[in-house]
């Protein structure tokens, strides 16, 4: 079987399909030299490129992507931009660490907001806050833990019962919820396009140009792409879920697919059954749970399901997503999906990123763990600082460092076993 070294999704990204047609950037077709090559033009790659330009405007900066803008995970995600880092516990040492993380995160969100506010496209970026909800005992237990953490951190929140949730979001599926204001919702494909659009023009971006190999030479690196090679002094690996496929970080980052569907625009009568809040996002309390959104233009979005290393058939994904949406909204008329798609996330065993210099002049930021819109932007920027010998905060101390994982077949067996157990345990949250 042919080895997959870059994403090749079965369907187009639904968010991107709602935007005006995108004019692809050119594909690299001749050999070039560069001072730095950035592999991947998602949030991480773009932030790295922008920062590199600020630090060394005369450098030749090249960015390549296997796909085109809006069609990578940076356009395929659910569009939650969380303003605060979370801890697994409410110990005072964890809380002190979080204050430092949150300063960095808040600075990054402000930069993203600035781009969104001056973009030609409407990124639909609004500080809506987010609901965390529980439908079963497993969810309730984890919600209580989250509540304790919010209380200990003195973070604003509101506890909601089934009736209150029903009033706001039109479903009595959940037994309890917690509303926190620390989240923005955005149209992710519009956001990544806007970030791309505002890059300095001297940065050379090539699309549909996957890196097939990164080879180390004495004083430089060679990046092989299907039609040409790039000779470069430094490399920034920002292809997240696919870094291991290039033989970089494969003991730390695994490729996990998850899926989303957007409905057609709902009519007024259907919208009137959806509660009083007209732009909201729900995050699950269990890591295998479903994310839900009501978009500002009157659609529902659901994101759920996981597969190890291989994208599931879209027909079966569609059936399952429809079922999970119906469970939450049995009273709504049959909903038509406008689009259904899969996307890859980089999973690490302990949820910490893989970040830093991992070989001479080879730098990496990967392992988003399904939450890298803001953190990817932050880590990409800091990676360029590191590669240009600028001072950086202690990322490992603040955000942790991805731990070691076995390779296949053990990894696949482990993932499938744990997911099977957890899927059963937390059925109601999925």
Ligand X SMILES: Cc1cc2nc3c(=O)[nH]c(=O)nc-3n(C[C@H](O)[C@H](O)[C@H](O)COP(=O)(O)OP(=O)(O)OC[C@H]3O[C@@H](n4cnc5c(N)ncnc54)[C@H](O)[C@@H]3O)c2cc1C
Q: Catalog residues that contact ligand X under the rule CB under 6 A.
A: 5-7, 39-45, 64-67, 72-74, 76-80, 210-211, 238-242, 246, 258, 260, 303, 343, 345, 368, 370-373, 376
Long-range pairs for 384-392: beta carbons < 8 A, 24 or more residues apart: 384/47, 384/48, 384/49, 384/51, 384/52, 384/55, 384/236, 385/51, 385/55, 386/356, 386/357, 387/36, 387/52, 387/234, 387/236, 387/357, 387/361, 387/363, 388/52, 388/55, 388/56, 390/55
- CB 33, CB 232: distance < 8 Å: yes
Helix (H) or strand (E) holding 322: helix 314-328
The distance of closest approach from Cβ of residue 72 to ligand X in the complex, given in angstroms and rounded to an integer, is 2
The distance of closest approach from Cβ of residue 346 to ligand X in the complex, given in angstroms and rounded to an integer, is 7
The distance of closest approach from Cβ of residue 317 to ligand X in the complex, given in angstroms and rounded to an integer, is 11
The distance of closest approach from Cβ of residue 93 to ligand X in the complex, given in angstroms and rounded to an integer, is 25
CB atoms within 10 A of CB 151: 11
The distance of closest approach from Cβ of residue 77 to ligand X in the complex, given in angstroms and rounded to an integer, is 3
CB of 177 or CB of 346, closer to ligand X: 346
Beta strand pairing status for 291-294 and 362-366?
unpaired
In the numeric block, the tokens 């994208």 are attached to 311
The distance of closest approach from Cβ of residue 403 to ligand X in the complex, given in angstroms and rounded to an integer, is 19
CA distances from 156 to 33, 147, 184, 317 (A): 51, 10, 15, 36
Q: What are the phi and psi torsion angles at 291 (to 5°)? A: -100, 145
The distance of closest approach from Cβ of residue 173 to ligand X in the complex, given in angstroms and rounded to an integer, is 20
Nearest-angstrom CA–CA distance, 189 and 186: 9
Strand partners, 363: 236, 357
CB of 139 or CB of 371, closer to ligand X: 371
State the angle between helix axes of 92-118 and 373-387 in degrees (0 to 180), rounded to the nearest 10.
Answer: 90
CB of 80 or CB of 174, closer to ligand X: 80
The distance of closest approach from Cβ of residue 245 to ligand X in the complex, given in angstroms and rounded to an integer, is 7
Q: What are the phi and psi torsion angles at 33 (to 5°)? A: -110, 150
């Amino acid at each position: 079987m042919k080895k997959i070294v870059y994403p090749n999704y079965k369907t187009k990204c639904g968010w991107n399909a709602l935007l005006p047609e995108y004019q692809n950037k050119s594909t690299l077709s001749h050999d070039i030299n560069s001072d730095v090559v950035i592999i991947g033009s998602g949030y991480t790659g773009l932030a790295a490129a922008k920062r590199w330009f600020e630090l060394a405007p005369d450098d030749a900066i090249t960015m390549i992507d296997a796909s085109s803008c809006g069609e990578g995970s940076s356009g395929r995600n659910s569009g939650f931009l969380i303003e605060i880092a979370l801890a697994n516990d409410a110990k005072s040492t964890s809380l002190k660490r979080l204050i430092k993380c949150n300063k960095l995160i808040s600075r990054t969100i402000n930069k993203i907001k600035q781009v969104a506010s001056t973009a030609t496209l409407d990124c639909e970026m609004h500080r809506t806050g987010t609901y965390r909800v529980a439908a079963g005992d497993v969810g309730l237990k984890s919600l209580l833990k989250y509540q304790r953490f919010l209380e200990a951190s003195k973070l604003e929140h509101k506890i909601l019962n089934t009736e209150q949730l029903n009033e706001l979001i039109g479903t009595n599926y959940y037994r309890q919820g917690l509303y926190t204001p620390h989240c923005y919702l955005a149209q992710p494909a519009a956001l990544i396009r806007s970030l791309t659009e505002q890059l300095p023009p001297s940065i050379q971006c090539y699309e549909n140009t996957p890196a097939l190999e990164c080879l180390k030479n004495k004083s430089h690196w060679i990046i092989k792409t299907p039609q040409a090679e790039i000779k470069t002094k430094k490399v920034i690996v920002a292809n997240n879920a696919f870094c291991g496929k290039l033989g970089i970080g494969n003991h730390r980052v695994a490729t996990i697919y998850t899926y989303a569907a957007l409905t057609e625009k709902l009519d007024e009568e259907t919208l009137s059954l959806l509660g009083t809040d007209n732009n909201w996002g729900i995050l699950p309390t269990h890591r295998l749970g479903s994310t839900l959104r009501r978009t500002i233009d009157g659609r529902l979005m659901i994101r759920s399901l996981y597969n190890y290393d291989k994208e599931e058939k879209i027909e079966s994904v569609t059936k399952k997503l429809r079922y999970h949406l119906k469970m939450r909204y049995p009273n709504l008329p049959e909903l038509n999906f406008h689009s259904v798609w899969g996307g890859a996330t980089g999973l690490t065993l302990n949820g910490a990123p893989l970040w830093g210099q991992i070989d001479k002049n080879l730098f990496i930021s990967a392992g988003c763990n399904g939450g890298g819109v803001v953190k990817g932007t932050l880590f990409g920027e800091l990676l360029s600082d590191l590669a240009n010998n600028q001072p950086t905060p202690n990322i490992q101390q603040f955000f942790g460092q991805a731990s070691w994982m076995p390779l296949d077949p053990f990894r696949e067996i482990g993932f499938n076993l744990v997911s099977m157990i957890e899927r059963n345990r937390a059925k109601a949250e999925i």
